[in-house]
Amino acid sequence: MTSRDQNLVSTEWLEDHLDAPDVIILDASWYLPTEERDAQAEYRQEHIPGAVFFDIDAHSDRSSDLPHMLPNTVAFSSAMRKLGVGDGQKIVIYDGAGLFSAARVWWTFKTMGASDVVVLDGGLPKWKAEGRALDSGTEKKMERHFTARLDHGRVRDLGEMKRNVETTREQVIDARPAARFKGEAAEPRPNTRSGHMPGSINIPFNLLLDDQRCFKSNADIKAVFDGAGVDLSRPITASCGSGVTAAVLALGLELIGIDSYGLYDGSWSEWGQDNLDTPVVTG
């Protein structure tokens, strides 16, 4: 099985496995506040049959002022048990944008030690475009035992990122749009500076996706990283605005067989804060 098969499934595959007892489907839709969309209400209106709703903000570190930071393992295990996610299941994640927030939840589960977690390529838009079945309302699953073990190697914090600016041991790839990366466009969060970390490389996450919001071929994904000047033989850390689209880059790396990477959980919502002395570059 290839790295792509281990992390991505097609709509055809999922339709064939809707009733499989060892498969749990999660609707992980989340939208930027500026989009004014209610992900949970949209889930109740229509979702893939059997899917339960995974709330990115509810299943996060509620003590942090930063958006949807990783929770601790005890809280996450408890929440997943109540959701019906258990050890030994294949966890299939999708979102309503096609391929956006599902990658963040994929990374969360991988970081929490889940061994079999995949993203639905093209998500709900592709599923609907193909005329596949939909349900409404909410789904309730039986509680199952879920064991979370944090993989520290997949996460970077502020201290590590500050040190990396000095050492440049890891390449930092930033998934935000080019205008925000360059400091030409304002950040959507208040009290946040514009620009990027010194030495970081801009790879807007949508460059890895095709017009249907599916991942491009492995060759094309590799060409995007190569074209941006990323050395795939060296360690990499992904960042973005709040740790969501950075996970699209992380998933793209996994698809092409690169597993030596981390994700900066606080991302620009932390680094770019007005009250921090973190260096910011524009242009």
Listed in sequence order, the DSSP H helices in 22-111 are 39-45, 73-83, 101-111
Q: Hunting for tokens 């989340």 — which residue is that?
A: 30
Output the six-digit token pair for 32: 């930027």
CB 159: neighbour CB atoms within 10 A?
Answer: 8
Burial annotation 106-133 (CB, 10 A radius, 16+ → b, else e): bbbbbbbbbeebbbbbbbbbbbeeeebe
* CA-based end-to-end distance of the chain: 42
What letter does residue 35 receive in the DSSP assignment? G
Kindly name the residue from 240, 248, 251, 253 that is annotated as catalytic.
240
The residues, any chain, with a CB within 8 Å of residue 227's CB and separated by 6 or more, are none
Q: Find out whether 124 and 116 touch, Cβ atoms under 8 Å.
A: no
Output the six-digit token pair for 65: 């002022």
What letter does residue 113 receive in the DSSP assignment? T
Query: Which regions of 57-211 does DSSP assign to beta strands (E)?
Result: 90-94, 117-120, 155-156, 171-174, 201-202
Q: Find out whether 146 and 81 touch, Cβ atoms under 8 Å.
A: yes
Let me know if 214 is a catalytic residue.
Answer: no
3-state SS class at 163: helix
Active site residues: 240
